[in-house]
């Protein structure tokens, strides 16, 4: 269960011109608050926050997706005392609408495909960045005692790929909001420099493991480039991140069982499709 971060202090609310009392929102690692028409949360990595705000502020509107536009302070800054803010967007997440999440993600990735690689990615150091680097064979995995049985078959099935990378959203499934009559809204963007089909594979892997999605979900998106290898890397990414973030205590039998069917499916696609 996530712990609740203390509410934004009064000086932060004043900086963003907020007069409403903050109310906690679900998700956001327990640290997201609504205050009037703004959503506020602590800054995890300042360089990424400022880069993301600049991109989203200038991103053209789309009929295929919405984004949570960043909010400036009254002095024009993106951050106040290590807090950031964005405009509240209407809608709720629905992790069972995986195909709609994937379509919105593809449209978003098409819109940002021309962005250069952000320099901050070389300096970001957290469990998710570690898992990403392990997945792409940029770091060795320092597996917990419970994880090798999951990672070893995936690493044996991993092969080089030649797909072009771009900036992508690395955690779409729970971060797309649906509202009646509105395009899906993409929020809480963790940026990665990977093929767009990898970001889709993360959605499918998460859905297979934690939302009881059927194997047909993977089949419907198997036309994406190097699909088997993207699924392999998506699962390594999640498993290695779990190791780094949560340690051996996370590896209950139920947790291991959740991964096994998705691993078998990914290995099948890796063997059936070209790299």
The predicted structure's pLDDT at residue 2: 42
Nearest residue to 150 via CA among 231, 248, 268, 264: 264
Second-level CATH architecture of 10-89 = 2-Layer Sandwich (3.30)
Second-level CATH architecture of 93-272 = Alpha-Beta Complex (3.90)
DSSP per residue, the chain: -PPPPPPPPHHHHHHTT--SPPEE-S-GGGT-EEETTEEEEE-S-HHHHHHHHHHHHHPPP-SS-EE--B---TTS-SEETTEEEEE----EE-TT-HHHHHHHHHHHHHHTTTPPPPGGGGT--SHHHHHHHHHTTSS-----TTSHHHHHHHHHH-----PPPEEEES--TTSEEE-TTS--EE-S--EEEE-HHHHHHHHHHHHHHHS---HHHHHHTTTSTTHHHHHHHHHHHHHHHHHHHH-GGG--HHHHHHHHHHHHHHHHHHHHS--
Q: Who has greater pLDDT, 246 or 24?
A: 24
End-to-end CA distance of the chain: 39
d(CA 246, CA 241) in angstroms, rounded, equals: 8
Residue 269 has pLDDT above 70, yes or no: yes
Residue 254 has pLDDT above 90, yes or no: no
Query: Region 181-202: what's the mean pLDDT?
Result: 98
- pLDDT tens readout for residues 175-185: 999 999 999 99
Residue 143 has pLDDT above 80, yes or no: no
Residue 4 has pLDDT above 90, yes or no: no
Look over the chain and give the mean of its residue pLDDT values, rounded to a whole number: 93
Residue 1 has pLDDT above 50, yes or no: no
Confidence of residue 146 (pLDDT cuts 50, 70, 90): low
Query: Region 133-159: what's the mean pLDDT?
Result: 89
Query: Region 184-205: what's the mean pLDDT?
Result: 98
Query: Region 48-71: what's the mean pLDDT?
Result: 98
The predicted structure's pLDDT at residue 275: 52
Query: Region 87-114: what's the mean pLDDT?
Result: 98
Same fold, 10-89 and 93-272: no
Domain positions in the chain are 10-89, 93-272
Q: How many CB atoms lie within 10 A of CB 16?
A: 20
The predicted structure's pLDDT at residue 255: 84
d(CA 193, CA 215) in angstroms, rounded, equals: 27
The predicted structure's pLDDT at residue 274: 52
d(CA 165, CA 116) in angstroms, rounded, equals: 10
Q: Tell me the percentage of the chain whose pLDDT exceeds 90.
A: 85
Residue 42 has pLDDT above 60, yes or no: yes
């Amino acid at each position: 269960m996530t712990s609740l971060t203390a509410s934004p202090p009064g000086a932060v609310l004043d900086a963003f011109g907020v007069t409403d009392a903050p109310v906690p929102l679900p998700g956001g690692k327990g640290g997201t608050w609504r205050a009037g028409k703004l959503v506020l949360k602590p800054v995890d990595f300042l360089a990424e926050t400022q880069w993301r705000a600049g991109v989203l502020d200038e991103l053209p509107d789309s009929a295929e997706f919405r984004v949570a536009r960043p909010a400036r302070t009254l002095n024009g800054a993106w951050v106040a005392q290590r807090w950031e803010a964005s405009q509240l967007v209407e809608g709720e997440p629905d992790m069972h609408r995986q195909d709609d999440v994937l379509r919105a993600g593809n449209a978003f990735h098409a819109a940002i495909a021309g962005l250069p690689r952000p320099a901050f990615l070389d300096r970001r150091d957290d469990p998710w960045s570690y898992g990403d680097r392990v997945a792409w064979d940029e770091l060795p995995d320092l597996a917990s005692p419970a994880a090798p049985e999951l990672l070893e078959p995936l690493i044996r099935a991993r092969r080089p790929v030649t797909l072009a990378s771009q900036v992508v959203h690395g955690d779409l499934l729970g971060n797309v909001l649906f509202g009646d009559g509105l395009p899906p809204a993409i929020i809480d963007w963790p940026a990665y420099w990977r093929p767009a089909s990898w970001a889709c594979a993360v959605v499918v892997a998460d859905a297979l493991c934690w939302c009881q999605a059927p194997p047909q979900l993977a089949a419907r998106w198997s036309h994406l480039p190097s699909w088997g290898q993207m699924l392999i890397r998506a699962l390594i990414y999640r498993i290695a991140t779990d190791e780094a973030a949560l340690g051996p205590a996370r590896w209950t039998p139920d947790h291991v069982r959740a991964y096994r069917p998705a691993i078998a499916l990914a290995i099948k696609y890796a063997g059936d499709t070209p790299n």
